[in-house]
Structure 1
Amino acid sequence: MLSRRALLAGGAAVAALPVDARAQDLSAAASSGVAAWPTQPIRLVVPFAPGGTTDLVARMLAQGLQDRLGQPFIIENRPGAGATVGSQQVAQAAPDCHTLLMSNIASHGIAPTLYRTLRYDAVKDFTHVALVVSNPSVFVANPRFAGPTLADVARLSREAPRGIDIASSGSGSSNHLLIVQFGQAANARVNHVPYRGAGPAMTDVIAGVVPLMSDSLPSAAGHIRQGSVRAVAMASAERHPAFPEVPTFREQGIDLVSDSWFGLSGPAGMPPAVVQRLSQSTLAVLAEPGLRIRFTELGGTPGALSPSGYTEFVRAEVARWAPVVRASGAEVG
């Protein structure tokens, strides 16, 4: 099994890929016998509500793919149960390559251990096409929240009669587990407040309904820059170049690193020739300078893995997160 570091190292290679014109894309498709695909609009299922990182990444990717493939990409948000509802629907769809999924760390890395009755296999029931982007998690707070540091958050949680609420995009996400791990590491009394996506959760943090949130950096970046929320700590190994003023968890005495990833997948059994074309088109979109700049501004790192490489990546992530989930004590029926 490839190491996670080796799998992610392929991300540097995407910058060297040529940015093909659509005519070149179609010519290559014709020579491989898959020119007939796509024959209709492609449904891209996002297993979270609008407004979060998964939704944002999906819309950025979809624009590039529909320009290259000549068919509209229709975003369909199907939130619920830690991204497993939408993922299950895609696993059960016909493998005609017209239904795709924004697979992610919650649905395909954490859910296999967290959910006792999960109705799909994260590897066998999907065709994994490409890793799209990865990024760190960040704790953000309502600007009026009194605790500017993690030590303050922990202290205030112990002083409050019922602890302190911290929101996330939903149960089973890496941001959820970061909340649990923070509570354990800092001896803090934290209450996880799951939402059906990062967008609704962020809305309530800005409004002061919930004081804190654990979020993926791309969906939080704009709000941090606007000052509608305040960044408390970044869960990266080092300070993030897009937000050098934000201290890490480690700098604040909490040895935690947490990141999220998002990729493109479909039902098991998709034709290999079409999968290869879709993978090549995805990597070409990710190599476009404008998209790379946008991802960088949001704190994301574009991926570059072949279908086999992304499949191995998912398999490795299931193994990586299993002991973390068990140690957290989190479990969903």
Structure 2
Amino acid sequence: MTNRSGRLSRRRAIEAALAVPLSWAGFAAHAQDKPPLRLLVGFPPGGNVDYAARLLAERLRAPLGRSVIVENKPGAGSRIALAEIKRSAADGSTLIVSVDAAFTIYPHTVAKLEYDAQKDFTPIVRIATYDYAIAVAASHPAANIREFMAWAERHPKEASYASPGSGSGPSFVGQELARIFKVPLTDVPYRGGQAANTDLVGGTIAAAVGVLPDMLELHRSGKLRVLAVGGSRRNALVPEVPTLREQGVDFEGDITIGVYAPRGLPPAQTLALGRTISEQLAGADMKSALDRQGLTPAPLSGEQLAVLHAAELRKWDALIRATGYVPQ
């Protein structure tokens, strides 16, 4: 039979591993009286959105007094999960953690979108942002965007870039670079950033346009070189890398991770949820955990997030039209 001190040591070890407060046992008994809060994620486990959702789930259980579970429902670029949220009751029991492309890019790229991006959801809070990034292999001669585009002009047959797929944000960023510099670039769609980065490091493709979290460790280890980030200011995780705008490129943009409810969630409940989530984001441990993934805590209220989406919707409309992209 295990003695009391042994049981206590194991309990403390488990609590430390899960980063749960020591009051967990009392909370768990109370939480059994409430139905769990479901956080849907429209992507497989392990990605940036899933990572943010699981961090949030850990930290919301105690302040909400209920269990919080993450459910991955991947497919169709997260549109399967978004369709489920649209059908869910607006009672705060089912939310989605999503990137903003679902509300700002998909309306311009998906011919038959299953939802109205501006009417079918209630924005609750922005959790974090992460940057678009343009990279080349460490052996590539280009040290910045202008040098890469000059190289691409001299080597038209090799002037290609990997992207997460036609119709994605990074794909359009690459096309925008080609338009601004008047240098043709071939978009080569890949299934995910890891496959693209493998070919980039191996020299199979000249460049990649993706997101900083997928490139961060390879850049730090010297296996590839990030030439630019797309945000409004340099990213604190790679302060040596200039923005596109610093290099004279008229583009600015990043990816937002936010929390959304079905349309009709009462304003008081929306505000309370948003405040609770923002309080968790303010903790030093949360910032450190997000930093490790290449994400930047960036809380905005639901109202502010809706205003941001409206502006981004207009921006991407103009940019995507300029590429001649036909909705699929």
- Regarding TM over 0.5, the answer is yes
**Is structure 2 residue 38 aligned with structure 1 residue 74?**
no
Deviation of 1:177 after TM superposition, in Å, equals 1.9
How many angstroms does 1:224 deviate by? Answer: 1.9
Residue number among 54, 57, 82 corresponding to 1:87 in the alignment: 82
| 256, 263, 278: which one aligns with 1:268 | 263
Q: 1:326 to 1:161 in 2, by over 3 A?
A: closer
Query: Partner residue of 2:297?
Result: 302
Q: 1:11 matched to which residue of 2?
A: none
The residue number in structure 1 matching 2:220 is 225
**Is residue 35 of structure 2 the alignment partner of residue 39 of structure 1?**
yes
Partner residue in 2 for 1:106 = 101
**C-alpha separation between the residues in 1 aligned to 2:161 and 2:61?**
37
Deviation of the 1:259 alpha carbon: 1.5
Q: Is 1:154 equivalent to 2:149 in the alignment?
A: yes
What's the CA shift string for 1:90-144, capped at 9, x where partnerless?
A: 3234445343222223111121123232221112111211111123321122334
Query: 5+ unaligned residues in a row in structure 1: which ranges?
Result: 1-20
* SS across alignment from 2:50: helix
**Equivalents in 1 of 2:193, 2:62: separation in Å?**
28
The residue aligned with 2:319 is 324
C-alpha distance 159-179 of structure 1, shift in aligned 2 (>3 A):
same
Aligned to 1:7: none
* 234-243 or 201-210, which deviates more: 201-210
**Aligned partners of 1:240 and 1:62: how far apart in 2?**
26
In structure 1, the partner of 2:53 is 58
2-side partners of 1:51 and 1:204: how far apart?
21
- Any conservation in 2 of the 1:129–1:265 contact (CA below 8 Å)? yes
1:43 deviates by: 3.8
Residue 97 of structure 2 aligns to a residue whose secondary structure is strand
Kindly indicate whether the alpha-carbon contact (under 8 Å) linking 1:166 and 1:193 is maintained by their aligned counterparts in 2.
Answer: yes
- Structure 2 unaligned regions, length at least 5: 1-20
Task: State whether residues 79 and 85 of structure 1, in contact with CA within 8 Å, keep that contact through their aligned partners in structure 2.
Answer: yes
**Amino acid across the alignment from 2:209:** S
Change (3 A) 1:144 1:107: same
The 8 Å contact of residues 142 and 151 in structure 2, kept in 1 or not, is answered as yes
Which range is displaced more, 224-233 or 156-165? 156-165
Amino acid at match of 2:207: L
User: Helix, strand or coil for the counterpart of 1:305?
Assistant: strand
Identity level (%): 28
Summarize the Cα distance change of 1:276–1:256 in structure 2 as closer, same or farther, 3 Å threshold: closer
**Cα pair 2:132 2:230 within 8 Å, conserved:** yes
Q: Deviations over 1:12-63 (max 9, x none)?
A: xxxxxxxxx998xx99xx9xxxx99951362421x34455433333333233
Distance in structure 2 (CA, Å) of the matches to 1:203 and 1:93: 40
Please report how far the alpha carbon of residue 299 of structure 1 lies from its aligned counterpart in structure 2 after TM superposition: 5.4
Are the structure 2 counterparts of residues 192 and 91 from structure 1 closer, same or farther at C-alpha, using a change threshold of 3 Å?
farther
How far 1:298 moved relative to its partner?
Answer: 5.5
Distance in 2 separating the partners of 1:281 and 1:37 = 20
Between 1 and 2, higher relative CO (CA 8 Å, sep ≥ 6) is seen in 1
Alpha-carbon RMSD across the aligned residues, in angstroms, is 3.3
Over 3 Å counting, the alpha-carbon distance change for 1:187 and 1:55 in structure 2 is farther
Q: CA deviation at 1:212?
A: 2.2
Change (3 A) 1:91 1:131: same
Partner residue of 1:6?
none
Distance 2:37 2:232 in 1: 41
The equivalent residue for 1:289 is 284
Segment drifting more, 245-254 vs 198-207: 198-207
Which one-letter code corresponds to 2:170 in the other structure?
N
For normalisation by structure 1, the TM-score amounts to 0.76
- Provide the C-alpha distance between the structure 2 equivalents of 1:49 and 1:198, rounded to a whole number of angstroms: 14
